[in-house]
Amino acid sequence: MEVPAIEATGLAKSYGKLQVLTGVDLRVPAGSVFCLLGPNGAGKTTTVRILTTLTRPDAGTARVAGHDVVRDRAGVRRAISLTGQYAAVDALQTGAENLRMMARLAGASRRDARVRAGELLERFGLTEAANRRAGTYSGGMRRRLDLAAGLAGQAAVIFLDEPTTGLDLTSRQAMWEVVDGLVGSGTTVFLTTQYLEEADRLAARIAVVDHGRVVAEGSPAQLKARFGDQRLDLDLADRAAFEAAAALLGARVVQRDDARLTLGVTTDGSAAHVRSVLDEIDPSGTAVRRFALHSATLDDVFLSLTARKEPAVV
């Protein structure tokens, strides 16, 4: 059996009376993109901090690149790279100097560090600003430079904690291409993100964490199939019909727009199931003005999962 790049069992962490993690289990195959999703405060960043040795767990075990995150912190740190949510570059150095420094710290020769810096500057659209001090960069440019710095070494496992927050679409797409290239060369990428389409685009496997534990795990396709291949959008006739339908459907509602009086419900897309839902909430044929079927997205999955009470593994 292949040794996983990351393996965690029963991770728990509390700050005072606040339980942030209550037993997180993860297994990440080498050479893949693994995405951790969850609402704010669900425990994503705490999980990353434990796996990158910045925080000690209260309970549980974890190994990254074969090294125990508590007993062999130095071994973990030699094998990983971490890019956090906020840019952390040396404002007094130029963009090129920042990248050469990071490559040298990762063990590259002067020549290799210079080559690597040039490649990253071009990939992230920073070549023209290479010789300007990072302190003169815009916020978006500093973020791109920080991402590039995190990729300057040859880490076996790269942690990207919400790496594209605040980036424009072009910069995000450049980052996606970089991630594709990393995985193609055998690197493991552990990603957290606020952008569900980013997880759908990049991840081979996704875990959704809520209230400090994993509530579902699987590939994007498996999760979407498990929680509804299709979404039935219902446009209700008036406020009373809207509230009555919402009450009847309960937890099956995955999207709700009070202003537009629309509800989204997971469905298998069959005529029989659509007819059943319509008959249930609109037996008189007057409550629903119109309806439409759409392919389910990770948004639908996410909204369904973060309201669930029991874990579901796909």
Count the helix, strand and coil residues of the chain and give each as a percent rounded to the nearest 5: 40, 30, 35
Q: Quote the CA–CA distance of 212 and 190 in Å, as a whole number.
A: 18
63-120 tens-digit pLDDT: 999 999 999 999 999 999 888 766 678 899 999 999 999 899 888 899 999 999 999 9
* Token reading at 21: 């993690």
* Token reading at 137: 């960069």
Q: What are phi and psi of 51, to 5 degrees?
A: -65, -25
Contact status, residue 70 vs residue 8, Cβ threshold 8 Å: no
Say what the pLDDT of residue 162 is.
85
pLDDT tier, 42 (very low <50, low <70, confident <90, very high otherwise) = confident
pTM score > 0.95 for this model? Answer: no
74 Rama sector, left if φ>0, alpha if ψ -120 to 50, beta otherwise: alpha
Q: Is the pLDDT of residue 57 over 70?
A: yes
Q: Which of 15-24, 60-69, 126-135, 189-198 has the lowest mean pLDDT?
A: 189-198
Say what the pLDDT of residue 169 is.
82
169-223 tens-digit pLDDT: 887 887 788 888 888 888 899 999 888 889 999 999 999 999 899 988 999 888 8
Q: What type of residue is 135?
A: G
Higher pLDDT, 265 or 85: 265
Q: Tell me the average pLDDT across 245-264.
A: 89
- What domains, with CATH codes, occur in the chain? 6-224 (3.40.50.300), 228-295 (3.30.70.100)
Residue with tokens 């195959």: 29
Beta bridge partners of 22: 12
Give just the sign of the alpha carbon dihedral 166, 167, 168, 173.
negative
User: What's the mean pLDDT when you consider all of the chain?
Assistant: 88
Q: Quote the CA–CA distance of 269 and 248 in Å, as a whole number.
A: 20
Q: Is the pLDDT of residue 309 over 80?
A: no
Q: Quote the CA–CA distance of 11 and 26 in Å, as a whole number.
A: 9
Q: Which of 51-65, 78-92, 225-239 has the highest mean pLDDT?
A: 51-65
Say what the pLDDT of residue 247 is.
93
Contact status, residue 141 vs residue 90, Cβ threshold 8 Å: no
Q: Is the pLDDT of residue 310 over 70?
A: no
Q: Quote the CA–CA distance of 94 and 106 in Å, as a whole number.
A: 19
- Single out the residue of 157, 89, 138, 140 nearest to residue 117, CA to CA: 89
Higher pLDDT, 296 or 72: 72
- Single out the residue of 311, 307, 214 nearest to residue 11, CA to CA: 214
Higher pLDDT, 110 or 140: 110
pLDDT tier, 227 (very low <50, low <70, confident <90, very high otherwise) = low
Higher pLDDT, 135 or 167: 135
Say what the pLDDT of residue 72 is.
97
Q: Tell me the average pLDDT across 276-296.
A: 90
Q: Is the pLDDT of residue 152 over 50?
A: yes
Say what the pLDDT of residue 311 is.
43
Q: Tell me the average pLDDT across 257-265.
A: 92
Percent of the chain with pLDDT over 90: 54
Q: Is the pLDDT of residue 314 over 60?
A: no
Say what the pLDDT of residue 154 is.
77
Contact status, residue 231 vs residue 266, Cβ threshold 8 Å: yes
Say what the pLDDT of residue 313 is.
44
